[in-house]
Structure formats: C-alpha cells, structure tokens
Amino acid sequence: MDELAEYKDNPDIPPVQEKLARAYYDMLKTGGGDLEEIRGFISELQDTEQAAVEQAAQQETPSANEQFEIRIRTITGSDATQHFGPTVIHKLEIISLNDASTTITGIKINRGNCPTGTADHYQNMGYGTVAGVFIRCDPQNIREVTLTTANGEYTFNMNGQ
C-alpha cells in the first residue's frame, strides 16, 4: 500500500488523475479491488501523463521569441497609355522588431491559400528593417499570416484588415 500513497496526495498529478488515483486507493484500502488492477491503472495514468508532456513539448514556442509587425500596403500607379486603367499592387510588409538579426525563411498567407509573389529584404533583418512580399489575393480577405524563421513559426491574425 505504501507504493500507492505517493499517488494519493501527489501535488504534481492533474486533478482528474488525482481523483481517479484516490478512488482506486480507497478501493484497495476497503478491499474493493486487487493490487494488480490498481497498479495497471496507475501505470496507464503515467503513460497518459507522459504522452501529454511530450505533446506539450512539441507545441512549445521557440525559446527566442521574435517579434514582427505586419501591414498591408496598396501601391497605385497609372500606365502611360490610355489603354489600361490604373495599376493596383498589394504588398505585405513585415517590419522586424528584433535587435538580433533574423531571416524569414517562409511566408504563408491564409494558410497557403493566398498566392505570393517575390519577396525582398527578408534576410539579415535588424530592428526596423522592412521586408516585402507581393500578394496575389484581395487584401480584404487576408485573415492570417504565418512567418517562419530559424527560431520558429509565428502566426499573426489580421482580423480582416
């Protein structure tokens, strides 16, 4: 029974697991279950906890938290001939707010559903450096921008801006 006491009042066990371990401990104490059944249950709880810890570790944010400001700029210009109307180009601008130099290795707009054109000034970005990428979708439909760097992936919610 001493083996099970550590599970009964362990502050590191999540509340649900503590409640279940306590119930099995009480069952053993009153003769309602056998020791092997309870040990098997506790082993299952440990496996569940280990899986939760591993999943949380995979979802952790990078240790170096980089910061960027994202904005959409519309560039208009008119053609020299009368055959074409004004030209409108939309560009996503990414401003680095990092003191350390950083390089953007990937840009996804709307989870890859908004095509992008060429990007410029995205390498060795210092504080205040602006990188730009041409976008080929309606800027009013942009909801999410995800940037990838060597330190991780950063997703920005645009709220329809």
Q: pLDDT of 21-49, one tens digit each?
A: 666 667 767 766 666 776 776 777 677 76
The answer to whether residues 104 and 131 touch, using CB atoms and an 8 Å cutoff, is: yes
Phi, psi of 138 (to 5 degrees): -65, 120
For the packed helices 35-58 and 15-30, what is the interaxial angle rounded to 10 degrees?
170
Q: Six-digit token pair at 138?
A: 């309606």
Q: pLDDT of 48-89, one tens digit each?
A: 767 766 665 555 444 458 999 999 988 876 544 455 566 778
- Domain extents for the chain? 2-58, 68-157
Q: What is the pTM of this model?
A: 0.55
> Rounded to whole angstroms, how far apart are CA atoms 121 and 84?
30
